[in-house]
Amino acid sequence: MKQTIRLQVFLSRNGICSRREAMDIVKSGRVSVNGQIVAEPSFQVDPRQDQVCYDGKSVGQKGYDYIILHKPAGYVTTKADAFASQKVMGLLPSEFRHLNPAGRLDKETEGLLLFTNDGDLLHALTHPKFDVGKIYFVRVR
């Protein structure tokens, strides 16, 4: 069974640029599939079989990373916040700081957080339309 995705999605998922930027890059003629220039962002590619090149360089299929981290109290669940002195991203090894957290925990809350670059999983876990339940255990004094 052939699994195809749009060329602009392939470029975005493999770290070349955002989906919006991919549209312009493809339309400008800088991308080829199996040696042929493709100018249509919605062109279907099979990541397992097609060779995609950007500016003459092969675009390899990037794997997904998944990290589960125990967030201690005092850290903000954010990638960037000028006012946060301790960000949860600082707890990750530098090679995993490109990952995104699936959800948030309050600054003084501790618990498990999932980090990934799997956009489909992030969307399925966090978008309200999927109604993914969450369970919290709270201890108060």
Residues 6+ apart with CB under 8 A from 7: 22, 26, 31, 33, 38, 40, 41, 42, 43, 44, 45, 52
Distance CA 102, CA 39 (A): 34
Q: How many CA atoms lie within 13 A of 110 on its CB side?
A: 5
Beta strand 111-116 with 66-71 is: antiparallel
Active site residue 50: no
Residue 105, SS3? Answer: coil
Joined together, the tokens standing for residue 37 give: 């220039």
Kindly name the residue from 106, 118, 120, 131 that is annotated as catalytic: 106
Structure-block tokens of residue 8: 């602009």
Catalytic positions:
106
